């Protein structure tokens, strides 16, 4: 090669690598990096899943702490409950039976009165004047009758002697008869005026509690007044009307034939017992709209714990269920179809046991089928259990409900 060619080659710059090959290498590198990230994420997810599974397995093997109570057998009172309202045995709106000025009011609002007590007095003077007039008319008619009788005796003698005709004698006898009628009318008028005087003294027709005064002394009262003068309600004793479903009627009627049934009245919160009474009767027909029957009970109400129109919850003591299987109501779990409880077996494992609840009284349930006396059932922590789960048990606080009465109104 000549010198000129060598010098030309040395003077040139090095050729650049092909652009296409450089771009391909960069693209491949990115895909490799992305693949590495994906593989790492998959490995991390699998490790996390295995860690959670191991944690679950570890927790599943640990016993669950639950509160339990013991199934007991005992006599259990059976009550029927219903809604009721207090009703006064008698309610009287006292009206005046005569028109006149109200002179005296002899009662105070809220006072307890007895039958026959004088409540108010109406001005008697107009009726006394009318009585005097009637008595004067009676005296006048009696005097006139006596005079007519004397004339009648004379006419009888004259007629026998033939001096006067028979017609004149008969007319005189009729005159005497007219005075007899007038005297009877006068006596009736006198009795009527005496009765009006009696009405001027307004007395209580029943024993009860006086309400608020509706009229004051000095007003003119009328027998036709719509509102009356006062209202008296008999609240000792007092009645409570309540309803029960028609399905319970045969049970109640059957027990009423055996003995007097007792009734308990509770406040609106259904916690405080207000009074105890007796069932006295039931209605003669069932309300078709509600399917219930009305019952009437009687309460002495000496402490005035019940007031007319007061709402109360009523518990009718029906009978005692002997040797009933009872358990705390907290143990009863609601399933899709039936109720069930968790029973602690001999190996400290939770067992699902279907049960049939007969009735519930307060926080205690009577079990008709499914449990036996002495078994341990879960009352606290059942939401954490599954069938066959291992448990550690302790006596729950709710189990104390089985050691005493199920409610304030236990067996009478």
pLDDT along the chain (412 residues), means of 10: 42 48 63 80 76 54 81 89 93 94 93 94 94 94 89 85 84 87 93 94 94 92 91 94 94 92 92 93 93 95 93 92 87 84 84 86 85 87 80 71 47 39
The span from the CA of 27 to the CA of 61, in Å, is 51
Domain 124-199 has CATH 1.10.287: yes
Residue of 81, 343, 120, 78 whose CA lies nearest to 210? 120
Q: What is the pLDDT of residue 6?
A: 40
Q: What is the pLDDT of residue 205?
A: 94
The span from the CA of 229 to the CA of 212, in Å, is 9
The three-state secondary structure class of 359 is strand
Domain 64-76+322-402 has CATH 1.10.10.10: no
Q: What is the pLDDT of residue 165?
A: 86
201-203 and 118-122 beta bridge pairing: antiparallel
The span from the CA of 324 to the CA of 365, in Å, is 10
Helix (H) or strand (E) holding 192: helix 166-199
In the chain, what are the helix, strand and coil shares in percent, each to the nearest 5?
35, 35, 30
pTM: 0.64
Where exactly are the structural domains of the chain? Answer: 64-76+322-402, 80-89+234-319, 91-122+205-233, 124-199
137 burial via Cβ count (<10 Å: 0-12, 13-18, 19+): middle
Buried b (16+ CB within 10 A) or exposed e, 274-306: bbbbebeeeeeeeeeeeebbbbbbbbebeeebb
The first and second tokens of residue 368, run together, are 């008709």
Dihedral class, residue 350 (left if φ above 0, else alpha if ψ from -120 to 50, else beta): beta
Q: What is the pLDDT of residue 173?
A: 85
Q: What is the pLDDT of residue 54?
A: 52
Question: Which CATH class for the 91-122+205-233 domain?
Answer: mainly beta
Q: What is the pLDDT of residue 84?
A: 94
Q: What is the pLDDT of residue 134?
A: 94
Residue of 261, 247, 299, 248 whose CA lies nearest to 277? 299
Ranges of beta strands (E only) in 157-306 are 201-203, 208-210, 220-221, 230-233, 238-245, 262-266, 273-282, 292-299
- CATH, domain range 80-89+234-319: 2.40.30.170
The three-state secondary structure class of 390 is strand
- Judge whether 64-76+322-402 and 91-122+205-233 match in fold: no
Q: What is the pLDDT of residue 405?
A: 47
């Amino acid at each position: 090669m000549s010198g000129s060619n060598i010098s030309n080659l040395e003077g040139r710059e090095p050729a650049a690598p092909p652009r296409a090959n450089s771009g391909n290498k960069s693209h491949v590198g990115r895909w490799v990096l992305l693949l590495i990230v994906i593989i790492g994420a998959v490995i991390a997810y699998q490790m996390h899943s295995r860690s959670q599974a191991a944690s679950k397995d570890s927790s599943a093997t640990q016993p669950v702490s639950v509160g339990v109570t013991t199934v007991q057998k005992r006599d259990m009172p059976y009550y029927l409950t219903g809604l009721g309202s207090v009703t006064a045995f008698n309610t009287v709106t006292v009206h005046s039976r005569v028109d006149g000025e109200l002179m005296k009011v002899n009662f105070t609002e809220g006072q307890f009165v007895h039958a026959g007590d004088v409540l108010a007095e109406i001005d008697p003077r107009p009726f006394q004047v009318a009585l005097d007039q009637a008595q004067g008319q009676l005296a006048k008619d009696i005097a006139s009758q006596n005079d007519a009788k004397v004339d009648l005796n004379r006419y009888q003698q004259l007629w026998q002697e033939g001096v006067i005709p028979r017609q004149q004698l008969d007319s005189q006898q009729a005159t005497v008869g007219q005075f007899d009628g007038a005297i009877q009318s006068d006596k009736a008028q006198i009795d009527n005026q005496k009765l009006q005087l009696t009405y001027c003294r307004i007395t209580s027709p029943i024993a009860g509690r006086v309400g608020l005064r509706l009229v004051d002394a000095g007003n003119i009262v009328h027998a036709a007044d719509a509102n009356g003068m006062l209202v008296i309600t008999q609240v000792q004793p007092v009645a409570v009307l309540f309803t029960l479903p028609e399905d319970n009627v045969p049970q109640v009627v059957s027990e009423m034939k055996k003995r007097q049934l007792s009734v308990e009245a509770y406040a609106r919160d259904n916690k405080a017992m207000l009074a105890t009474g007796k069932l006295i009767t039931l209605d003669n027909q069932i309300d078709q709209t509600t399917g219930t029957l009305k019952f009437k009970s009687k309460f002495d109400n000496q402490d005035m714990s019940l007031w007319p129109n007061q709402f109360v919850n009523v518990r009718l003591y029906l009978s005692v269920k002997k040797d009933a299987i009872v358990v705390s109501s907290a143990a009863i779990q609601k399933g899709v179809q039936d109720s069930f409880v968790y029973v602690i077996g001999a190996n400290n494992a939770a067992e699902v046991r279907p049960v049939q609840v007969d009735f519930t009284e307060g926080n205690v349930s009577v079990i008709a089928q499914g449990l036996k006396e002495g078994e341990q059932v879960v009352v606290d922590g059942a939401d954490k259990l599954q069938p066959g789960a291992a448990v550690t048990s302790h006596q729950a606080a709710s189990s104390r409900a089985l050691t005493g009465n199920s409610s304030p109104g236990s067996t009478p």
